[in-house]
Amino acid sequence: MRKIILLIFCLYFTGVIMSKAIDKVEENIFKLTSNDLKQNSILPNKQVFKGYGCNGGNVSPHLAWENAPKNSKSFAIICHDPDAPKPNGWYHWLVVNIPSEIKEIKQGEKIKGAIETITDFKTKGYGGACPPVGHGAHHYNFTLYALDVDKINIKENDSPKDVEQKVISHAIAKSTITALYER
């Protein structure tokens, strides 16, 4: 009987310690938030493309983050639609070399020192959602990467996929908000 009580006590005590450890880990999770985007909700019209039959504001969303790894030297943002009827999906926004002291980007803001690279719209900067009519809901993944380098060397002819591969090769953490949109 004493062994059972001791075992129950040990299991309880271990569970309390593990619970507190999990709570501490969750407090320190790298987290991306937005005033404009909510996880798995409809993308606001301000973030929808203007053109190709879409009539949105074509403005990049507000993004903020916390609890980045202490060894983060820079950040990158990639907005990607994996549902686009094109190999590798559709890249809507790629921003690299965001300085490590930046923790928030206002809606439509350009970040000093950062580089916005060519998207699948063949232009630099944010290009909002504009999926084909009747193609169903598309997932727009806004992913923030914490990187182990100050700068990623981007070449003028780097494709969006090339940029993404360079970012991923230096990523030490990431956080994503997914928004949905269909026409």
Domain ranges of the chain: 30-181
Q: Given this model, what pLDDT does residue 107 score?
A: 98
- Tens-digit pLDDT profile for residues 130-152: 999 999 999 999 999 999 999 99
Fold annotation for 30-181:
Phosphatidylethanolamine-binding Protein (3.90.280)
pTM of the model: 0.85
Q: Which two tokens mark 82?
A: 């994996």
Q: Given this model, what pLDDT does residue 157 score?
A: 86
Say what percent of the chain tops pLDDT 70: 85
Q: Given this model, what pLDDT does residue 2 score?
A: 60
Q: Given this model, what pLDDT does residue 156 score?
A: 85
- Tens-digit pLDDT profile for residues 93-115: 999 999 999 999 999 999 999 99
- Tens-digit pLDDT profile for residues 3-26: 555 445 444 544 544 434 333 334
The band of 80, judged by pLDDT with boundaries at 50, 70 and 90, is very high
Mean pLDDT of 70-84: 98
Residue 49 in this model has a pLDDT that exceeds 70: yes
Q: Given this model, what pLDDT does residue 1 score?
A: 60
